[in-house]
Amino acid sequence: MDIRYNERSRTFTITAGDSSYVIGIADKEGFIGHVYYGAAIAEEPMYLLRIDEPPFVPTKNNRDRGSFMDTFPCEFPGNGLGDYRDGAVEVIDAGGHRAIKLTYEGHNIIDGKPALAGLPATFETDGARAKTLEIYAKDEALNVKAVLRYSVFEDSDAIIRSTELINESATPVLITKIMSASLDMDSEDFEFLSLHGSWARERQIDIRPIGYGKTSVGSVKGESSHQEHPFMALIEKGSTQEKGRVYGFSFVYSGNFLAQAEKTQFDSVRVMMGINPQGFKWELKPGDSFQSPEVVMVYSDCGLGKMSRTYHDLYRGHLIRSPYKDKERPILINNWEATYFDFNTEKLLDIAREAKKSGIEMLVMDDGWFGRRNDDNSSLGDWNVNEEKLPGGLKYLVDEVNKIGLKFGIWMEPEMISPDSDLYRAHPDWAIQIPGREGVRSRNQYVLDLTRKEVLEHTWNSIKTVLSSANIEYLKWDMNRQITDIGSAELGRDNQGELSHRYMLAVYKLQERLVKEFPNLLLENCSGGGARFDAGMLYYSPQIWCSDDTDAIERLGIQEGTAIVYPLSSMGAHVSDCPNHTVGRVTPFETRGNVALAGTFGYELDITKIPQEDRDMIPFQTATYHKYNKLVRSGDYYRVASFRENHYYDCFGVVSKDKSEALFTFVQVMGRPNYHSRVIRIPGLLPDVKYVVEGVSEEPEEWLGSTLEKAGLRIGNLWGDYKSLLIHISKADD
Q: For the segment 252-301, what is each residue's pLDDT rounded down to a tens digit? A: 999 999 999 999 999 999 999 999 999 999 999 999 999 999 999 999 99
- The CATH code of domain 72-318 reads 2.70.98.60
Strand partners, 237: none
Q: Give 96's contacts (C-beta < 8 A, 6+ positions apart).
A: none
CB 91 within 8 A of CB 115: no
Peptide linkage before 277 cis (omega within 30 of 0): no
The SS3 call for residue 218 is strand
Q: Give 44's contacts (C-beta < 8 A, 6+ positions apart).
A: 6, 9, 11, 13, 22, 24, 35
Q: How far is residue 522 CA from its own chain's centroid? A: 18
Q: Give 606's contacts (C-beta < 8 A, 6+ positions apart).
A: 335, 337, 338, 339, 351, 577
Q: Report d(CA 509, CA 452) in Å as an integer.
A: 12
What is the mean predicted confidence (pLDDT) over 652-674?
94
What is the mean predicted confidence (pLDDT) over 395-408?
98
Q: What are the pLDDT digits (tens) for 118-147?
A: 999 999 999 899 999 999 999 999 999 999
pLDDT at 41 > cutoff 90: yes
Q: What are the pLDDT digits (tens) for 363-392?
A: 999 999 999 999 999 999 999 999 999 999
pLDDT at 412 > cutoff 90: yes
CB 702 within 8 A of CB 694: no
What residue ranges of the chain are covered by domains with CATH 2.70.98.60?
72-318
E-assigned strand segments in 65-189? 89-92, 103-111, 130-139, 144-153, 159-167, 173-186
Q: What are the pLDDT digits (tens) for 195-217?
A: 999 999 999 999 999 999 999 99
Q: How far is residue 724 CA from its own chain's centroid? A: 28
Q: What are the pLDDT digits (tens) for 62-120?
A: 999 999 999 999 999 999 999 999 999 999 999 999 999 999 999 999 999 999 999 99
What residue ranges of the chain are covered by domains with CATH 3.20.20.70?
332-634
E-assigned strand segments in 7-102? 11-16, 19-26, 31-39, 89-92
What is the mean predicted confidence (pLDDT) over 662-672?
95
pLDDT at 591 > cutoff 90: yes
Q: How confident is the model at residue 454 (pLDDT cuts 50, 70, 90)?
A: very high
What residue ranges of the chain are covered by domains with CATH 2.60.40.1180?
640-731
Average pLDDT, the chain: 97
Q: Report d(CA 632, CA 618) in Å as an integer.
A: 19
Amino acid letter, residue 653: G
The catalytic residues are 478, 548
**Strands 701-704 and 636-641, bridge-based pairing:** unpaired
Q: How much is the pLDDT for 676?
A: 77
Amino acid letter, residue 585: R
Strand partners, 370: 385
Q: How confident is the model at residue 719 (pLDDT cuts 50, 70, 90)?
A: confident
Q: What are the pLDDT digits (tens) for 181-200?
A: 999 999 998 999 999 999 99
Q: Report d(CA 569, CA 648) in Å as an integer.
A: 26
What count of Cα atoms within 13 Å lies in the side-chain half-sphere of residue 13?
20
Which residue in 534, 513, 653 sits closest to 597, CA to CA? Answer: 653
Q: Report d(CA 594, CA 667) in Å as an integer.
A: 9
In the chain, what are the helix, strand and coil shares in percent, each to the nearest 5?
A: 25, 35, 45
The alpha helices in 566-669, defined as continuous H runs, are 589-596, 612-634, 643-646
Q: How much is the pLDDT for 674?
A: 65
Q: What are the pLDDT digits (tens) for 597-626?
A: 999 999 999 999 999 999 999 999 999 999
Q: What are the pLDDT digits (tens) for 680-705?
A: 999 999 999 999 999 999 899 999 99
Q: Rounded to the nearest 5°, which phi and psi values hold at 342?
A: -95, 85
Peptide linkage before 579 cis (omega within 30 of 0): yes
Q: What CATH superfamily is the domain 332-634?
A: Aldolase class I (3.20.20.70)
**Strands 213-219 and 474-477, bridge-based pairing:** unpaired
Percent of the chain surpassing pLDDT 90? 97
CA distances from 102 to 138, 178, 222, 293, 515 (A): 5, 13, 30, 19, 39
Q: How much is the pLDDT for 153?
A: 98
Q: Report d(CA 473, CA 524) in Å as an integer.
A: 11
pLDDT at 588 > cutoff 70: yes
Q: What is the CATH architecture assignment of 640-731? A: Sandwich (2.60)
